[in-house]
Amino acid sequence: MTGPDFSFEQDAMTRGAQVVAGVDEVGRGPLAGPVTAAAVILNPEDIPEGLNDSKKLSASRREALWETIHDKAEVSIAHASVEEIDTLNILRASHLAMERAVAGLTRVPDEVLIDGNMIPRGLTLPAQAIIKGDARSLSISAASIVAKICRDRVMWDLAQHYPGYGWETNAGYPSKSHREALQNLGLTPHHRRSFKPVHNILYQGKNVTS
């Protein structure tokens, strides 16, 4: 299977779009931490080489591309908090992060390419949803890389304040060690209480770490 290309962006440009942004989010599945989204506007004349779905790249390759993307493209990053995830639900919160990322761009896109099968309802710009877009669109691939690295760094920082949960390596996902730490150490303010494994521990009356 071939990697992502610029065809979706070029199609938008043939319809008159001059500025096309790719948007992706990371962090729907973790038990802790925010959900993070990135919006990226690539320069058609200077696209970084090696872009792909962030999950298909090594950590070192993602880091190198993070630098290149920031050098060559316009980037906006945004989050939805744990409180927003628990209040709204994870899908709506991830869409909120996407909306915020697009709003943070210095240029208003003429079209937005969204990874997934839904367009966030608060996004008023022309947009199309692209299933598995991070493996098909270079702009979305770039956004997936930026979002993942940013969120991983957020979780690494949180891990320094809340050791024992392994966030520096599991990024808040429900690894065995993370689930065991939940049972042994209790909850932190950064755990998503609406997620079943966390809710069950809260219901059992486990301690909450401040």
Edge-to-edge order in the sheet of strand 20-26: 74-80, 35-41, 20-26, 111-115, 127-130
Q: Are 105 and 55 in contact (CB under 8 A)?
A: no
Is residue 24 marked as binding?
Answer: yes
For residue 201, the model assigns a pLDDT of: 82
Q: Where are the domains of the chain?
A: 7-159, 161-203
Distances (CA, A) of 74 to 77, 129, 132, 139: 10, 20, 22, 11
Distances (CA, A) of 5 to 10, 47, 50, 53, 134: 10, 10, 11, 11, 10
Calpha distance 103→112 (Å, rounded): 11
For residue 208, the model assigns a pLDDT of: 53
**Low pLDDT (below 50) residues in the chain:** none
Calpha distance 195→191 (Å, rounded): 9
| Number of other CB atoms surrounding residue 156 within 10 Å | 13
Is residue 25 marked as binding?
Answer: yes
Bridge partners (DSSP) listed for residue 24: 38
Give 26-61 pLDDT, tens digit per residue: 999 999 999 999 999 999 999 999 999 998 999 999
Is residue 49 marked as binding?
Answer: no
For residue 202, the model assigns a pLDDT of: 76
Calpha distance 116→131 (Å, rounded): 4
CATH of domain 7-159: 3.30.420.10
Q: String of b and e for 128-155 (b: at least 16 CB within 10 Å)?
A: eebeebbbbbbbbbbbbbbbbbbbbebb
pTM for the predicted model, two decimal places: 0.94
